[in-house]
Amino acid sequence: MFSLKNKVAVITGGASGIGLAMAKRFIKSGANVVIADLADKNNEAESIGAKFYKVDVSDENSVISLLKFASEYLGPIDIIANNAGVCPEFRALNEATQQDYEFAFKVNTLGVAFGLKHGPDYMNNGGSIINTSSLSGKMGVFGLGAYCTSKFSVIGLTQTAAVELGDRHIRVNAICPASVNTPMAHDNDQSQLEMEKIMIPLGRIAEPEEIASLAHFLAADDCAFINGQAINVCGGMTAGIGPKLWEKLAGSSGDNS
């Protein structure tokens, strides 16, 4: 079950964080993997048995070159993970700059759009495309207007592609994590991370491997009827108010009277 034996997978943003965790998991399940990123400073691809290819997902021609390389090197592509992402600095809407929006959209939105536009041309008649959105792609977050908007767009692209590519038996789904223990998360405001831990009933943020496990599930042929979904991986954050958050809101030690 959930074997990826002899599948060909391309993962953008694959040199660290969620993308690297996906690559490791896919390889363990038998896939042949191309890790694509701006750089692989720690030689992660070689260490796990993947092939590295330098890509700038905000550049359409760069994405085409990546897909062409992967298909020529390993054969027709079965799995594409459009995972590369960035997060601008925290700024309220009345302070956000044009550069904030351009930075977020060029990578988070255009990177996915280019993968969806050109990826199917290099795939078998069938396969799985997995887009990394965010829980912030379903809800507003103070100071993250540009990021949220770019991740909302990923869900829109995912659902549109699922409709358009269905007759080619290509499934398209999105993963929507809350905060994850990655280098990008640690570049952000640590007070926000601590607040998220309080908001998440499990009391912690996710590990990259926990996001990769859902990607593995969606990549496998066993999930042939899951299509057009944006799936939360949030430790119960959207389920309701847990005791720690209640205490924080009430300003007491568990007094909810």
Q: Which residues pair with 180 in a beta bridge?
A: 206
* Gap between the Cα atoms of 51 and 49, Å rounded: 7
* Gap between the Cα atoms of 257 and 250, Å rounded: 10
- Helix, strand or coil for residue 130? strand
Q: Determine contact, residues 9/77, Cβ cutoff 8 Å.
A: yes
- Helix, strand or coil for residue 256? coil
- DSSP label at 109? I
> Any catalytic annotation for residue 73?
no
Q: What is the chain's length?
A: 257
Amino acid identity of 93?
L
Q: Which one of 73, 101, 122, 147 is the catalytic residue? A: 147
- Helix, strand or coil for residue 242? coil
Amino acid identity of 247?
E
- DSSP label at 8? E
* Gap between the Cα atoms of 55 and 81, Å rounded: 14
Residue 156 token pair: 């829109």
Q: Determine contact, residues 133/158, Cβ cutoff 8 Å.
A: yes
* Gap between the Cα atoms of 121 and 56, Å rounded: 19
- Helix, strand or coil for residue 174? strand
Catalytic residue positions?
Answer: 147
